[in-house]
Amino acid sequence: MRHPVSPQGPSLSLNAWVWPSTLGPAAGWCFHYELVGDVAAVRFPAPQAPGQADGLWRHTCFEAFLGLHRDPAYREFNFSPSSQWAHYAFSDQRQRDPHTETPLQAFAPAIACRSTDNTFLLQAWVPAAAWPTALPGEPLELSLSAVIETLDGAVSHWALHHPQPQPDFHHRSAFVAQL
C-alpha cells in the first residue's frame, strides 16, 4: 500500500510476494513485484550492467527487509529495474554492520524485468546464503517495499505496512510477514 503522505500520482497498485526457489545448483528465494496500472507514468531507471550500486532507493526501486524474530539485526536488499542491486546488513535500526555486510556483496541477485501496457514485473532471485541464518523453527520477519518515482519526479513509498507517520522501511514494526 502507498504511504498516506506519499503523493497520489497515477493510478497504481503494487503486489509483492516471495517464495523458495532454485536457480541452477543453489537454493534461494525469489522476490516478485508486480506494479499494475498507469505504468507509463512511472520513471524507470535506464538499463545498466548488473552490479552493486548505492542510492538505488532514490528512484524506482523494489526492496526487501529480513530479520530474525526478536533480533534487532536485519538485512536490506534493493532491486533496481536497471538490473543494479544492493545488500546491506544492519546490527540495529539504521546501524550498518560492515563486518556482516562485506561478505554479503559476494551474493549477487539475479534480476529480471518485463512489462506490458499496464503491468511492470520485477523478479529478483537471492541466494539463500545472503539471508540471515535462522535456527529450525525460528521465523524470519519480512517487509516488502518499493519506491516509485513518476515522470514528474514525485516519489511515493509503498510497503506491506507503514507503522510510522513518515515512510520508514527500516522500522521493525514494518516487518509484518513471517517465513
72: domain CATH number?
A: 2.60.40.1190
Joined together, the cell numbers standing for residue 177 give 510477514
Joined together, the cell numbers standing for residue 87 give 545488500
Tell me which residue of 14, 17, 56, 58 sits closest to 37, measured CA to CA: 14
Alpha carbon distance 12, 26 (integer Å): 35
Report yes or no on 107 lying in a domain. Answer: yes
The residue range of the domain holding 73 is 12-178
Kind and range of the H or E element at 74?
strand 74-79
Q: Which residues pair with 50 in a beta bridge?
A: none
Domain count, the chain: 1
- Please write the tens of the pLDDT for every residue from 157-174: 999 999 999 999 999 989
C-beta separation of 161 from 167 below 8 A:
no
Report yes or no on 7 lying in a domain. Answer: no
Report yes or no on 153 lying in a domain. Answer: yes
The pLDDT, as a whole number, for residue 32 is: 97
Report yes or no on 64 lying in a domain. Answer: yes
Tell me which residue of 8, 59, 10, 31 sits closest to 160, measured CA to CA: 31
Whole-model pTM: value is 0.93
Alpha carbon distance 165, 39 (integer Å): 27
Report yes or no on 67 lying in a domain. Answer: yes
Tell me which residue of 8, 13, 28 sits closest to 119, measured CA to CA: 13
Report yes or no on 129 lying in a domain. Answer: yes
- Please write the tens of the pLDDT for every residue from 107-126: 889 999 999 999 999 999 99
Q: How confident is the model at residue 25 (pLDDT cuts 50, 70, 90)?
A: low
